[in-house]
């Protein structure tokens, strides 16, 4: 590969979707029936580029036993802004790594140098491939799904812009750019959730998504400012100044090689918690998860792409990218795990009673993202790579499930309430089969994709809960090639001295430079991780239950179709134009049973059975591809340990404190059995409750009693947040408006009446309010001026 | 050579609108079309002249180095030692605002195209006179000339609001005029005091701003009891005028009233340029001439800025009138600028100076769009509007764009300034204040970040209610009287004055979506919003040196006041602009 090729490809991956989006915006309706072409071609080409990048990003890493070398390439596109002499780092602070950054020619001041720089490393390459390939399949699927929508240009433009923004987010090499595209993907998400803006629910859901995400962005903004103040830069990578000095980036190799390069303690914990807040917003973690279920108001392909496969994983990406920052703050890591495992469990419980197929999947997404966070919070190399592994497999099978749900919705005329249809496998065999494959993957049944990644997550949690069972860290005796001596000592922490939590997990620093203890570090005990492990195992069972509950309700039992299904041609919102394209539309109309109530059950269904049909090939083919991927990708990546070894060369994961936690890859048979058992129990329960039954029949939920209400009302999160945050703020706003009108403006008016009153006394009857005021004013000024002049002149 | 020197160029730019005003006035007998065409030509020609001048300024290393450009000075009122000169020139502080004034006048002319049917000649004449005053105030290098222009901006706007405004326009115009006049009269006292102080020490009675700045630096106004706290008093006097003008909470209540009642063209100029005069005053006078007093006041103004951000956003949250909502959003956004200025950190003050332009663009765009909505639906009530997106998609696209700009979405201009301001504010809070202040500063800075959430809340709420959902009322084609009447009754007493009619419903009904003149009004604003968002460096660079220079003294005084003097003055570091990555 020519030396410049990776850089060029790296620029092309976001650039092509951007161009596609711009072409779609500019030419819009003039493209006619080919309106999807720019998006499909642009994202398709970007997928190709991302595939090539995967090869380029590998670097010299590879083997599972040799220590990886960090592999990164950066490309600076343009200088966004430079504020000269913006900061004066205090001596000894990480911002002024002595001897590296502060040259003798200056007094130590640093510019705030904000450049648009892209980076390529294994983590970025992995994310780029996920984004572009899922984006491509979703774009192709949308050709069929959005076929009848009059606003197709807007849809394809937004999808292209989203792929661009998301690619930039993961390819950015500075926290500023991450913030920029963090918000940009949020804006795309806002516009896509509100795509059918005539529906008030869609408009409200879009606003809610943006605002809840803004709360997360609040955290990211503060984290960015604190990082800037702590490290004196916002770049990930090292920057070589014109005079040859190196400004170490926050995640640059200079700092990574320095064992004391990262700040722990209170500040470090604070930064990490702010980053976690940001990640929680984007990745829908408790308590900021409330926007994601509502986001299902958007078109289903957008849900699949943004709210299942890619954008919601940005939080996972961010934490993984910032691994070196987190590992020096064990307390923050513990919070990450705690939030993740809690989210996983809570969302799974809510998912068990949902009746809207897309919402089941939405809660499932929240729950699976929780798994990833739980894994990240272990702070081990295995945990970080397992999270990304699960991210990749989840992207495949969750996109598959969402697109499958969209296919159902497409055929059902926009109905997605599982109680209103059933037995669909008879009319939609491809959708049913692929959905089944996706469900097996989600439930973690071997050998489907989810099984392997979930197993690695459970193993990572288990390793923190029972470190002795996994041999602590002493498997790793190989120092990283080329790492400085200080790092070697850091990594040779004797595991015998740390029976429960290895010293390397408590702190990054070698004994020579003790790190400050963070305020939450007491959390990070093995006991916590044991609890989280059990929570995750229970969640695995619940996952299998709600997934198969949905499968059985939708695809098995007697065939039942809602009346809307007869008009099912892409009509999803009340405002959507009814289809004009083929597929026997005329035949449907002749049935003339639009008013048939749902209770007609079998008779209506029998009539509809002939009318309903599988989705067109342009929609089912992406399903088949994703099903194939869901079948093999887990096994493939696990068996070769390709992903783990590949990711280990990511600079962030070569921080000494991360490398110190390396353990040889192993298959944990005991954990696999436990996980599979949990899944089997969940599937069995779902089968007892729903297999072969009418989907609107009373089911297992009736045994839950008051818990059913709790789950169905989503643990009252919306209500509580409304009462605790929204209401008080609104009251405060009313109060402020009242103060504004009565007190502040009232005072102003009162003061304004004083000269008027005086004027009335002095010159009664003089017409013209303005003249009077002005005269009084001018006279007053003159008096003051004369007095001042007199005083000064003396 | 002197035929077209930058100085001549500058004078032409200011005289152009005055000539155009006379022409517009003279066109009165020839009908509205001739009047507004002449106004459009004037605005375009002036913008061309100003644009070329700005380009010449950017090419001039003196300007980018912090000096003044296109300087001219002719005696004006000279009598003995008393020498007021007509001194003009541009520097990094004024360059962008000078250009923005010309751009927004074009916007104001275009948004008034159909809205103003009543006495158009007088309207456009006043608009162009206002332009000349705005250009003059930014070009003035003389205290008296500055003050004359500063006050003279009030007069055209007073009439614009009072004659072409909405139902409560009289009260709004008087309140606006008196409130800001009362403040700025005190500012004048302060400015004259500086002049006299300087004269009493240097022996030369000068009104030249540059000479005054140098003079008071050589002989600072006393900041102790022995000197009668003169510097402090003068600072407060200047503050009175500038704080009302910005407006800094709690001196803001004239603003929502004035905006709501003003015709769209007036709102555009008011929000876009006139509010910035207060900040410009701080940058031009308070900070460089009264650094010690500025440093003492900085924490309080920093706090007032942060309070204003949150307060303005909260009040905006419960507004029912879309224009009032945008007006309160201006209060909130001006809070960021005040905060950034008085953070006295390099990133923050440069961000604040950029944010002057950014807010000018986005607020002007939003006010223009609210006016366009009013022309179509004859109401600004958020509850009565709904589903506009279905009827006017491009209007919606533009509104969403300016909303994104306003709420600081990266990639657009609003983000650039606010990011730098907050960056600097955190820096000040983290490392630049004494421990006693640190918790307060951090809280305030965090509250300002919280303002980003609130800002998104009220703007997106308004977008949701006005543009999305099902259309809430039929389009008011032709005669909009019923709706207009209902709104008028709801809004307050209906005046039965011969001129007391809303101007909008007398014009021809506009098309459902944007018309050519509306496109022409919004497109330049949108382009600049995007440009600044993508490449703020190009806009920060030329003004950086001047802004730094204006605030350096105050920042040093602040640092000295906060901790024992330890840090040496900064030296130049390596420029990383061309830095290469590995």
What does the CA dihedral A85, A91, A97, A100 come to, rounded to 10 degrees? 70
- At residue A603, does pLDDT exceed 50? no
Burial label, B77 (beta-carbon count in 10 A; 0-12, 13-18, 19+): exposed
| Contact between residue B487 and residue A227 where contact means Cβ atoms under 8 Å apart | no
The mean pLDDT of chain A is 79
Residue among A668, A448, A454, A411 at smallest CA distance from A554: A411
Question: In angstroms, what is the C-alpha Rg of chain A?
Answer: 30
When CB atoms are compared, the residue of A86, A103, A199 closest to B346 is A86
Residue B564 lies in a domain: no
Rounded-to-integer distance, Cα A13 and Cα A3, Å: 17
When CB atoms are compared, the residue of B427, B463, B568 closest to A229 is B427
Residue B568 lies in a domain: no
Q: What is the DSSP string of B194-214?
A: HHHHHHHHHS--B-BHHHHHH
Pair B281, B294 in one domain? no
pLDDT of residue A478: 37
- At residue B282, does pLDDT exceed 90? yes
Residue among A671, A656, A396 at smallest CA distance from A533: A671
Contact state of B575 with A111 under an 8 Å Cβ cutoff: yes
Residues 6 or more apart in contact with residue B277 via CB below 8 angstroms:
B137, B150, B153, B242, B245
Pair B258, B320 in one domain? no
Long-range contacts of B48-51 (CB under 8 A, 24+ apart): B49/B9, B49/B12, B49/B13, B49/B16, B49/B102, B50/B13, B50/B98, B50/B99, B50/B101, B50/B102, B50/B135, B51/B99, B51/B102
Rounded-to-integer distance, Cα A407 and Cα A400, Å: 10
Burial label, A182 (beta-carbon count in 10 A; 0-12, 13-18, 19+): buried
Q: What angle do CA B228, B230, B231 make, to 5 degrees?
A: 140
pLDDT tens profile B435-455: 888 889 999 999 999 999 999
Pair B279, B309 in one domain? no
Residue B335 lies in a domain: yes
pLDDT of residue B493: 40
Please indicate whether residue A170 or residue A69 has the higher confidence score (pLDDT).
A170
pLDDT tens profile A179-235: 999 999 999 999 999 999 988 899 999 999 999 999 999 999 999 999 988 888 888
The SS3 assignment for B233 reads helix
| Contact between residue B264 and residue B526 where contact means Cβ atoms under 8 Å apart | no
High-pLDDT (> 90) share of chain B, %: 50
Interface contact A88, partner B, CB < 8 A: yes
When CB atoms are compared, the residue of B200, B446, B537 closest to A80 is B537
pLDDT of residue A758: 73
- Residues of A with CB below 8 A from B540's CB? 81-83
- At residue A400, does pLDDT exceed 60? yes
Interface contact A103, partner B, CB < 8 A: yes
The first and second tokens of residue B555, run together, are: 């920042």
- Residues of A with CB below 8 A from B418's CB? none
- At residue A295, does pLDDT exceed 70? yes
Rounded-to-integer distance, Cα A649 and Cα A71, Å: 6
Interface contact A732, partner B, CB < 8 A: yes
How crowded is residue A673: how many other Cβ atoms within 10 Å of its Cβ? 10
pLDDT confidence bin for A490, thresholds 50/70/90:
very low
Pair B127, B49 in one domain? yes
Contact state of B578 with A242 under an 8 Å Cβ cutoff: yes
Contact state of B347 with A240 under an 8 Å Cβ cutoff: no
pLDDT tens profile B148-167: 899 888 889 999 998 898 88
Pair B270, B410 in one domain? no
Stretch A468-494: mean pLDDT: 40
Residue A69 Cα, gap to closest chain B Cα (Å): 15
Residues 6 or more apart in contact with residue A640 via CB below 8 angstroms:
none
Pair B237, B365 in one domain? no
Residue among B447, B412, B303, B358 at smallest CA distance from A222: B447
| Contact between residue B67 and residue B6 where contact means Cβ atoms under 8 Å apart | no
Pair B189, B298 in one domain? no
User: Which H or E run contains A391?
Assistant: helix A381-411
Pair B269, B327 in one domain? no
Contact state of B540 with A744 under an 8 Å Cβ cutoff: no
Interface contact A106, partner B, CB < 8 A: yes
Domain residues for the domain of B29 are: 1-203+226-286
User: Which H or E run contains B91?
Assistant: strand B82-91
Looking at the DSSP bridge assignments, the partners of residue A82 are A113
pLDDT confidence bin for B483, thresholds 50/70/90:
very low
Rounded-to-integer distance, Cα B474 and Cα B481, Å: 14
Tokens 């959902």 locate to: B469
Residue among A195, A24, A21 at smallest CA distance from B389: A195
pLDDT of residue A592: 35
- At residue B110, does pLDDT exceed 80? yes
pLDDT of residue A611: 52
pLDDT of residue A2: 63
Residue among A341, A388, A342, A427 at smallest CA distance from A125: A388
Strand B82-91, strand B68-79: pairing: antiparallel
Please state the domain count of chain B: 2
Contact state of A752 with B178 under an 8 Å Cβ cutoff: yes
Stretch A624-646: mean pLDDT: 83
Rounded-to-integer distance, Cα B467 and Cα B372, Å: 13
- At residue A591, does pLDDT exceed 60? no
Pair B395, B270 in one domain? no
Contact state of B182 with A777 under an 8 Å Cβ cutoff: yes
Rounded-to-integer distance, Cα A232 and Cα B427, Å: 10
Interface contact A181, partner B, CB < 8 A: yes
Looking at B286, B308, B337, which one is the last position of a domain? Answer: B286
Tokens 């703007």 locate to: B459
Backbone phi, psi, residue B151, to 5°? -75, -30
Strand A246-247, strand A239-240: pairing: antiparallel
Please indicate whether residue A573 or residue A368 has the higher confidence score (pLDDT).
A368
| ipTM of predicted complex | 0.86
Q: Which of A116-125, A691-700, B62-71, B319-328 has the lowest mean pLDDT?
A: A691-700
Q: Which residues of A305-329 are buried (b: 16+ CB within 10 A; e: fewer)?
A: bbbbbbbbbbbbbbbbbbbbbbbbb
pLDDT tens profile A97-144: 544 444 434 456 777 888 889 988 889 999 999 999 999 999 999 998
Q: Where are the alpha helices (DSSP H) in B66-142?
A: 95-111, 120-139
The mean pLDDT of chain B is 85
High-pLDDT (> 90) share of chain A, %: 32
Stretch B13-18: mean pLDDT: 91
CA B322 → CA A228, B178, B512, distances in Å?
38, 25, 19
Residue among A335, A330, A360, A334 at smallest CA distance from A348: A360
Pair B273, B124 in one domain? yes
Q: Which of A730-739, B217-226, B245-254, B475-484 has the lowest mean pLDDT?
A: B475-484
Q: How far apart are the first and last CA of chain A?
A: 84
- Residues of B with CB below 8 A from A80's CB? 534-537
What's the helix, strand, coil split of chain A in %, to 5? 70, 5, 30
Q: What is the DSSP string of A721-790?
A: HIIIIIHHHHHHHHHHHHIIIIIIHHHHHHHHHHHHHHHHHHTTT---HHHHHHHHHHHHHHHHHHHHHH
**DSSP state, A329?**
-
Q: What is the DSSP string of A452-518?
A: HHHHHHHHHHHHHHSGGGGTTTTT---PPTT--HHHHHHH---GGG-SSS-HHHH-SS-TTSPPPPP
Looking at the DSSP bridge assignments, the partners of residue A87 are A110
Pair B280, B317 in one domain? no
pLDDT confidence bin for B339, thresholds 50/70/90:
very high
Rounded-to-integer distance, Cα A580 and Cα A589, Å: 12
Q: Which of A62-76, A539-553, A629-643 has the lowest mean pLDDT?
A: A62-76
CA A105 to chain centre: 44
Stretch A496-512: mean pLDDT: 36
Residue B468 lies in a domain: yes
Q: Which residues of B430-453 are buried (b: 16+ CB within 10 A; e: fewer)?
A: bbbbeeebbeebbebbbbbbbbbb
pLDDT confidence bin for A576, thresholds 50/70/90:
very low
**pLDDT winner (highest mean) among A270-279, B160-169, B473-482:** A270-279
What does the CA dihedral B290, B295, B300, B305 come to, rounded to 10 degrees? 80
pLDDT tens profile B302-325: 999 999 999 999 999 999 999 999
The first and second tokens of residue A540, run together, are: 């695995």
Interface contact B566, partner A, CB < 8 A: no
- At residue B474, does pLDDT exceed 80? no
Interface contact A268, partner B, CB < 8 A: no
| Contact between residue A85 and residue A222 where contact means Cβ atoms under 8 Å apart | no
pLDDT confidence bin for B559, thresholds 50/70/90:
confident
CA B241 to chain centre: 15
How crowded is residue A517: how many other Cβ atoms within 10 Å of its Cβ? 17
How crowded is residue B151: how many other Cβ atoms within 10 Å of its Cβ? 18
User: Which H or E run contains A317?
Assistant: helix A314-321
Tokens 């003061």 locate to: A751
Pair B341, B437 in one domain? yes
Contact state of B456 with A210 under an 8 Å Cβ cutoff: yes
pLDDT confidence bin for A769, thresholds 50/70/90:
low
Q: What is the DSSP string of B263-315?
A: -HHHHHHIIIIITHHHHHHIIIIIHHHSHHHHHHHHHHHHHHHHHHHHHHHHH
Q: Where are the alpha helices (DSSP H) in A28-104?
A: 37-57
- Residues of A with CB below 8 A from B469's CB? 197-200, 203
pLDDT confidence bin for A789, thresholds 50/70/90:
low
Residue B557 lies in a domain: no
Residues 6 or more apart in contact with residue B393 via CB below 8 angstroms:
B513
pLDDT tens profile A431-464: 999 999 999 999 988 888 888 888 889 988 988 8
Interface test with A, best of B574, B577, B580 (most A CBs within 10 A): B574
Stretch A597-614: mean pLDDT: 49
| Contact between residue B115 and residue B503 where contact means Cβ atoms under 8 Å apart | yes
Residue B517 lies in a domain: yes
Residues 6 or more apart in contact with residue A590 via CB below 8 angstroms:
none
pLDDT confidence bin for A775, thresholds 50/70/90:
low
């Amino acid at each position: 590969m020519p030396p410049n090729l990776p850089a060029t490809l790296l620029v092309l991956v976001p650039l092509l979707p951007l161009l596609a989006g711009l072409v779609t915006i500019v030419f819009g309706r003039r493209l006619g029936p080919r309106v999807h072409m720019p998006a499909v071609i642009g994202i398709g080409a970007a997928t190709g580029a991302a595939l090539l990048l995967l090869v380029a990003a590998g670097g010299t890493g590879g083997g599972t036993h040799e220590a990886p070398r960090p592999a990164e390439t950066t490309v600076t596109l343009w200088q966004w802004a430079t504020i000269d002499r913006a900061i004066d780092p205090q001596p000894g602070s990480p911002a002024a790594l002595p001897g590296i950054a502060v040259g003798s020619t200056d007094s130590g001041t640093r510019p705030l140098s904000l450049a648009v720089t892209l980076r390529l490393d294994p983590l970025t390459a992995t994310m780029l491939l996920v984004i572009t390939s899922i984006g491509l399949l979703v774009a192709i699927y949308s050709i069929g799904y959005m076929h009848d929508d009059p606003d197709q240009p807007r849809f394809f433009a937004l999808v292209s812009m989203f792929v661009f923004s998301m690619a930039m987010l993961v390819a950015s090499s500075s926290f500023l750019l991450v913030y920029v595209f963090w918000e940009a993907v949020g804006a795309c998400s806002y516009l896509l959730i509100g795509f059918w803006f005539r529906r008030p629910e869609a408009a409200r859901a879009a606003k809610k998504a943006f605002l809840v995400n803004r709360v997360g962005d609040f955290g990211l903004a503060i984290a960015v400012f604190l990082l800037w103040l702590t490290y004196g830069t916002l770049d990930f990578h090292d920057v070589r100044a014109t005079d040859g000095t190196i400004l170490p980036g926050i995640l640059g190799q200079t700092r990574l090689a320095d064992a004391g390069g990262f700040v722990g303690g209170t500040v470090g914990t604070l930064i990490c918690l702010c980053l976690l807040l940001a990640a929680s917003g984007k990745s829908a973690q408790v308590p900021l998860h409330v926007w994601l279920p509502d986001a299902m108001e958007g078109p289903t392909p957008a849900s699949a792409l943004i709210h299942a496969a890619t954008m919601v994983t940005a939080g996972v990406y961010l934490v993984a990218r910032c691994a070196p920052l987190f590992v020096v703050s064990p307390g923050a890591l513990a919070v990450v795990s705690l939030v993740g495992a809690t989210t996983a469990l809570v969302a799974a419980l809510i998912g068990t009673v949902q009746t809207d197929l897309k919402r089941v999947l939405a809660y499932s997404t929240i729950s699976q993202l929780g798994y990833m966070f739980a894994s990240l919070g272990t702070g081990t190399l295995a945990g970080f790579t397992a999270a990304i592994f699960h991210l990749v497999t989840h992207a495949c099978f969750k996109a598959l499930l969402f697109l499958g749900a969209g296919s159902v919705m497409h055929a059902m005329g926009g109905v997605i309430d599982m109680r209103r249809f059933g037995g669909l496998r008879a009319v939609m065999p491809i959708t049913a089969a692929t959905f089944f494959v996706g469900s097996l993957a989600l439930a973690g049944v071997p050998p489907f994709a989810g099984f392997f990644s979930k197993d690695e997550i459970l193993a990572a949690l288990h390793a923190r809960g029972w470190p002795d069972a996994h041999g602590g860290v002493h498997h790793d005796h190989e120092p990283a090639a080329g790492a400085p001596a200080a790092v070697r000592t850091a990594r040779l922490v004797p595991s015998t001295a740390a029976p429960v939590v290895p010293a390397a997990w408590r702190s990054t620093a070698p004994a020579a430079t003790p790190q400050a203890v963070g305020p939450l570090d007491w959390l990070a005990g093995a006991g916590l991780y044991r609890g989280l492990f059990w929570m995750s195992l229970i969640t695995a069972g619940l996952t299998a239950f709600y997934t198969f509950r949905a499968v059985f309700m939708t695809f098995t039992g007697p065939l039942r179709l809602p009346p809307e299904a007869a008009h099912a041609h892409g009509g999803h919102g009340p405002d959507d134009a009814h289809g004009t394209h083929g597929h026997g539309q005329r035949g449907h109309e002749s049935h003339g049973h639009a008013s048939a109530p749902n209770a007609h059950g079998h008779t209506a269904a029998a009539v509809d059975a002939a009318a309903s049909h599988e989705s067109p090939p342009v929609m089912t083919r992406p399903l088949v591809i994703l099903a194939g991927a869901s079948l093999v990708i887990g096994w493939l990546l696990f068996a070769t340990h390709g992903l783990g070894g590949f990711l280990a060369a990511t600079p962030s994961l070569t921080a000494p404190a991360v490398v110190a936690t390396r353990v040889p890859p192993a298959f944990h048979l005991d954990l696999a059995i436990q996980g599979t058992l949990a899944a089997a129990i969940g599937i069995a329960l779902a089968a007892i409750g729903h297999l072969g039954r009418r989907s609107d029949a009373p089911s297992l939920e009736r045994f839950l009693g008051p818990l059913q209400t709790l789950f169905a009302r989503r643990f009252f999160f919306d209500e509580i947040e409304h009462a605790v945050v929204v209401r008080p703020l609104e009251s405060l706003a009313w109060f402020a408006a009242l103060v504004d009108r009565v007190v502040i403006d009232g005072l102003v008016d009162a003061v304004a009446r004083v000269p008027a009153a005086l004027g009335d006394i002095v010159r009664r009857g003089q017409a013209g309010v303005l003249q009077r005021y002005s005269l009084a004013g001018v006279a007053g000024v003159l008096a003051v001026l004369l007095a001042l002049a007199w005083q000064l002149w003396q | 050579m002197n035929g077209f020197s930058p100085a001549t160029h500058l004078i032409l730019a200011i005289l152009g609108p005055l000539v155009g005003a006379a022409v517009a006035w003279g066109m009165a007998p020839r009908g509205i079309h001739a009047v507004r065409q002449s106004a459009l030509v004037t605005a375009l020609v002036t913008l061309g002249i100003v644009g070329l001048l700005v380009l010449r300024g950017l090419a001039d290393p003196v300007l980018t180095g912090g000096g003044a450009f296109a300087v001219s000075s002719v005696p004006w009122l000279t009598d003995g030692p008393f020498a007021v000169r007509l001194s003009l020139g541009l520097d990094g502080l004024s360059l962008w605002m000078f250009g923005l004034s010309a751009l927004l006048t074009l916007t104001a002319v275009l948004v008034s195209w159909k809205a103003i049917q009543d006495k158009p000649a007088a309207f456009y004449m006043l608009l162009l006179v206002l332009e000349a005053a705005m250009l003059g105030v930014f070009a003035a290098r003389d205290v008296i000339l500055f003050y004359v222009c500063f006050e003279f901006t009030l007069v055209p706007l007073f009439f614009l609001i009072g004659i072409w405004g909405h139902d409560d326009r009289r009260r709004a115009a008087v309140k606006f005029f008196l409130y800001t006049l009362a403040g700025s009269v005190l500012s004048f006292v302060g400015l004259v005091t500086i002049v006299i102080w300087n004269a009493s020490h240097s022996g030369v009675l000068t009104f030249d701003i540059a000479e005054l700045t140098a003079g008071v630096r050589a002989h600072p106004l006393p900041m102790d009891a022995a000197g009668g706290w003169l510097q402090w008093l003068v600072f407060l006097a200047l503050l009175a005028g500038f704080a009302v003008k910005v407006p800094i909470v709690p001196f803001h209540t004239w603003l929502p009233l004035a905006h709501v009642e003003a015709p769209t063209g007036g709102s555009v100029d008011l929000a876009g340029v006139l509010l910035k005069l207060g900040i410009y005053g701080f940058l031009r006078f308070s900070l460089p001439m009264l650094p010690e007093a500025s440093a003492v006041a900085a924490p309080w103004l920093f706090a007032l800025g942060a309070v204003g951000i949150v307060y303005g956003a909260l009040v905006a949250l419960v507004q029912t009138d879309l224009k009032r909502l945008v007006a309160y959003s201006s209060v909130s956004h001006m809070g960021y600028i005040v905060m950034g200025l008085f953070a006295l950190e390099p990133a923050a003050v440069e961000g604040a100076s950029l944010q002057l332009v950014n807010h000018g663009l986005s607020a002007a765009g939003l006010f223009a769009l609210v006016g366009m909505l009013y022309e179509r639906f004859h109401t600004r009530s958020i509850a009565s509007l709904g589903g506009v997106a279905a009827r006017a998609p491009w209007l919606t696209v533009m509104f969403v764009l300016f909303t994104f700009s306003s709420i600081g979405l990266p990639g657009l201009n609003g983000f650039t300034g606010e990011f730098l301001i907050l960056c600097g504010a955190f820096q000040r809070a983290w490392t630049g204040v004494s421990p006693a202040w640190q918790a307060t500063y951090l809280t305030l800075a965090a509250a300002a970040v919280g303002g980003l959430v609130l800002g998104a809340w009220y703007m997106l709420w308004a977008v949701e209610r006005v543009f999305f959902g099902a259309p809430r009322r039929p389009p008011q084609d032709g005669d909009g009287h019923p709706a207009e009447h209902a709104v008028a009754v709801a809004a307050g007493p209906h005046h039965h004055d011969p001129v007391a009619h809303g101007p909008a419903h007398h014009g021809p009904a506009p098309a459902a979506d944007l018309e050519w003149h509306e496109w022409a009004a919004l497109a330049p604003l949108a382009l600049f919003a995007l440009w600044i968002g993508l490449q703020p460096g190009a806009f920060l660079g030329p003004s950086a040196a001047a802004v730094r220079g204006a605030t350096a003294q105050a920042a040093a005084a602040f640092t000295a006041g906060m901790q024992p003097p330890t840090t040496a003055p900064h030296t130049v570091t390596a420029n990383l602009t061309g830095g290469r990555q590995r």
